[in-house]
Amino acid sequence: MTDTYTKFIRSAPGAFIARRTGLPRPSTLPRRGDRPAPILGPVVVLGESAGADQVARDLLGEGADVRRRFDELRSVGSVIAVLDEISAPADLGRILLPLAGAMRSLAPGARVVTISRPAQGEDPARDAARGGVEGFLRSLAHEMRRGGTANGILVQDGVDLDAPGVTGALRFLLSARSAFVAGQFLTVSSAAGSLTENRDRPLAGRTALVTGAARGIGAAIARTLAADGARLVVLDVPGAGTDLSQLANELRAVPVQLDVTSEGAGERLVSFLRERSLVLDIAVLNAGITRDKLFANMTSDRWDPVLAVNIASQVALTDALIEAGDVLGEQPRVVSLASTSGIAGNRGQTNYAASKAGVIAFVDALAARLESLGGTANAVAPGFIETEMTAKMPALTREVARRLNSLQQGGLPVDVAEAIAFLSSAEAGGIRGGTLRVCGQNMVGK
């Protein structure tokens, strides 16, 4: 959708006015097509541990220009601060403060990533240091400029820093695919997963289902998964049949017209897959609706459909797929669409927020259920994304929502799709039951 303000501010007259008045000046965010290089260099790896040495070696093996200090660097593309062995708060400054003097040297679209361990509630001094990384990282993300982002990776004790999930998360956060992810942490809880040699087509040979695929974010997800090599099964309600057929023809996908809230929808989907000898490796549960109203005016005709589509259908479909036993592949990936409304709440959206908070809890429980299959379940929580739905918001509300994040602009459907593609990959095998916000570090919630 058109962001008229941003277009004006990026013009010469608009930039002059913004400088003089202090108005927000959203930077251009390089995305996959703008910055195909997987890593923006040079890369500076900070840290004193064996894990820091390992990360530096791995990046060198991928052809990155790796340094261990900022000395004589006039421009820095990426910074990785490895804090996996910190044991007291005093350790933070020793590793992190060299970055302070280099902040003005960060290139447009730069990436800063911390790698640390989560607090365990065992050693007060060590946990204080580990907890301090979160406060540092989230604050630094607010200070990044020119389209740069800062994010973190939390690696559970006992998981080495060369585990596939750590390498995969680092690849994603360093790449242009994470353009609208800021101030967030990915938690790697196990050494499961495997690295992808073909980074241009990491989903080659995999079959993916996308619900709510006919338009908007769903269509962007389908296109991104297809670009990454996946074979697509695209599903939407019969009323969206024309758009669904067009998308299926574009992507050479298999279309399914099905109301996910109808009785027996899961069983009908299983039958459809069996009839066509399709086995799903990835299920993206994107179908969703809104029926906004203040709770004082809420009625069952607004409440029930939102809960039915946004969360009850996800439970029913995954139950049917798992219980069928023959329509899910090895190490399946389930990715559900949550929302920042489910994290922080939103006025007039008690029904929507309830459904999306339900999604966040659902994937945590589902991940445990899929673990025996070598599978994962995670969620992506978009913030303000430029879609047909947000284009219908009142102009002032829409404008405020766009600026209410560290990147001072709305995200694009492809930003959500890129996060889902990563969580659908083999490299994300060690990430389970988490929710990744794609919100430009929205000012509400974490």
In 248-312, the DSSP E strands lie at 254-257, 280-285
* Whether 203 contacts 418, CB under 8 Å: no
Question: Among candidates 237, 259, 234, which has minimal Cα distance to 248?
Answer: 234
Q: Coil, strand or helix: which one is 310? A: helix
* Residue that is written with structure tokens 């916000």 in the block: 437
Distance CA(191)–CA(166), nearest Å, equals: 8
Q: Which amino acid is it at 413? A: P
In the chain, DSSP finds a helix count (H) and a strand count (E) of 16, 13
- Which one of the listed residues 5, 185, 352, 384 is annotated catalytic? 352
40-to-113, 199, 240, 353 alpha-carbon distances in Å: 13, 16, 41, 37
- Measured from the Cβ of residue 32, the count of other Cβ atoms closer than 10 Å reads 14
Cα distance between residue 150 and residue 141, in whole Å = 5
DSSP state, residue 311: I
CA distance 247 to 254: 10
Instruction: Give dist(CA 229, CA 206) in Å, integer.
Output: 7
**In what order do the strands lie in the sheet containing 231-236?**
254-257, 231-236, 207-211, 280-285, 328-337, 376-382, 435-438
Provide CB contacts within 8 A for 443, sequence distance 6+. 404, 405, 406
Burial of 17 by CB count in 10 Å (0-12 exposed, 13-18 middle, 19+ buried)?
Answer: middle
5 belongs to the catalytic site: no
Report yes or no: 268 and 259 within 8 Å, Cβ to Cβ.
no
Residue 351 host element (H or E): helix 350-370
Picking from 81, 84, 95, 87, the residue whose alpha carbon sits closest to that of residue 158 is 84
Active-site residue list:
352
